[in-house]
Amino acid sequence: MTSAGTRENPGAEADVSSSPGAGFWSGRTGQRILDAISAFARFYMAYVWISAGIPKLNDHMNMTQAIAAYEIFTPYWSDLLARLIGPLEIAGGVLLLLGIFLRQSSKVASWVMVLFIVGVASAWARGLAIDCGCFNIEPNTDGQAMDYLITILRDLVFLALSLWTVYRPFKRFALYP
């Protein structure tokens, strides 16, 4: 049998239960579980991007200082990035939420997560005591630096969710997947 049916009944569904790789994930329940993971990945990352971007909209000075603390960018670029990051994060979250260009926006989100991970790892390797400026950009007044390992692990989870959406986007309720 082929997936197109049989010679006698060309429109019939093929029996794939005996094919290699068939099993739990190819059944109706398995597909529902994969759909649930895809829905969670899409909508949770939309929430992450929007909630990370909103605080950055009205706190330009603290955002500029958070970016400058990485000691990667010039003051000009720190200022420019502080103006762009918040609106771009919100735009990415809205694209995911509305289901517009799901794979493309998730690819961009994946690359951004990789850049965030590299930036945090670079600051950690150079012994900088900074706050990442990810979700809360208020200055850290207690003198404690962020937990670099926890931040990198969190961002790896976000990267995995973004990559999941690249390869298996949840297209239900999507305006233009």
CA atoms within 13 A on the CB side of 29: 2
Question: Per residue in 35-56, pLDDT tens?
Answer: 999 999 999 999 999 999 999 9
Q: Which tens digit of pLDDT belongs to each residue from 63-101?
A: 999 999 999 999 999 999 999 999 999 999 999 999 999
Query: pTM of the entire structure?
Result: 0.82
- The whole-angstrom separation of Cα 113 and Cα 24 is 32
Which H/E stretch holds residue 93?
helix 75-98
Phi then psi dihedrals of residue 99, to 5 deg: 75, 45
